[in-house]
Structure 1
């Protein structure tokens, strides 16, 4: 304890007095002049705010006399400091340093308090260490005495030596927890379930959409093979070929579908669908290309009648094809045999081929036909064999 500590305590009493006067009006503002009911109200407020109490005797000892010659105990100093709005007595002194005063960081207890604690610890008697030894149970077997009695006297008694069996009590092993026993089985089952879910997620979360294609002018199914390109974001396009009269079914978990549809005798069509509310089945109309249809029609048109009528029909057919096909048209005939594969022919050879009266014209199959500025500029065709036609 130092004189500075006593001065700090006088400061603390002023702070305690000021804290109480913020909410209450005692008989006197000076805390040293409080008595009776003032002290009782102060004790109640101290218990409420600092969760502690000081006796009336301590109040008279440290608050009625000013200045004091002895500091209160550290617990009372901390209690009053908390009431005044500080964390501890040390924190209060730290914020009220006098000029030239140095405050140690570990100065939380007064020297007298530390000496008292050390003395108390040193005087504490050491407790003897005892060990609990396992008990042994002794089981004694009963003594067997052989007595043989005659009419006159007892014979000697034969005694068997007494044996003592020592039984050691062993602890019963605790049962393992069910979860620990089956942990690997449970984990394996969960992993298998997750793997199965990931493997079949496309099937589980996919929905199938079916699209059928009809001729817009005639209201019937398209007459030739369709090429469908499904375009997916950040992926290569998916290509599908749909035979005449068949519908296209596509399974996906995506929310949007983009398709490009092309056919030999129909104008190309791009289809975009929002699949969130789209129907499972839909009919899509394809607009026929009149020039391509006409070229196909005249290429397959039969020439019947007498010789004069045939000549007139051939001439009419040639004129119509001349008007429909560009002079610079690129025309390919596709073969299935290994000799040719594909052959390029000019416009006149194509017209001669399709105007020559033969039964093979009924098997003419146009694979691709392109138009530019009202003229056919490209034709790819194939004359199917009888076996192919019957497939």
Structure 2
């Protein structure tokens, strides 16, 4: 019925897909401008811009056709589209929880420093809360921020908005800073606990490789040698970068790393 009346009044029609999308179902998105122009003409206006200028008020020419049910439906639908058009953009909510990559636990003992980077504004500084998480509301459809921690490596995160954005972010441990802290403060027990943690994390038969610079090949490590390397605060430890790791049954069975120059 509607398609027939539309064809009769404005000598045109819309696709069945568009009809069911915008008349039979609710939609938060505006149709294409050609569909809006067509519906505006059906309601007695020149085009969509003319309809918008009239602030969605029904014109006298429309009143003459008010006995047509489909006409009222089309005009009410256009009014809803106009409302959507003028509504302010909704806020996107991003929520992240920060997970220690080694321990696979939420980081709660030390807050994560967060620097929100905005294109048109100065950076905004925040911290993770007592649950190890962070939430941010913005009109932008993305978030761009830097995370910093005394005992974790700095990282830059960029994410686009989604309908339900909630993500666990893996944060890499800065072993150099951690072990140096233990040594400097005489925390022998903490240092021993760190060795135990690493021993539990790494399988006894794990394949551990160091990629040497300038394509000189690789060097293999035993589990014990690698743990010794990660628990001695040398300058080279500060530049350790994990290239690849593979876990099986909760333990690292393969690990490839390099020393950045």
The interval holding the TM-score normalised by the smaller chain is 0.3 to 0.5
Q: Which has the larger radius of gyration?
A: 1
Tell me: higher relative CO, structure 1 or 2? Use CA pairs within 8 A at least 6 residues apart.
2
TM-score (norm 1): 0.26
> Which one has the bigger strand percentage?
2
TM-score (norm 2): 0.37
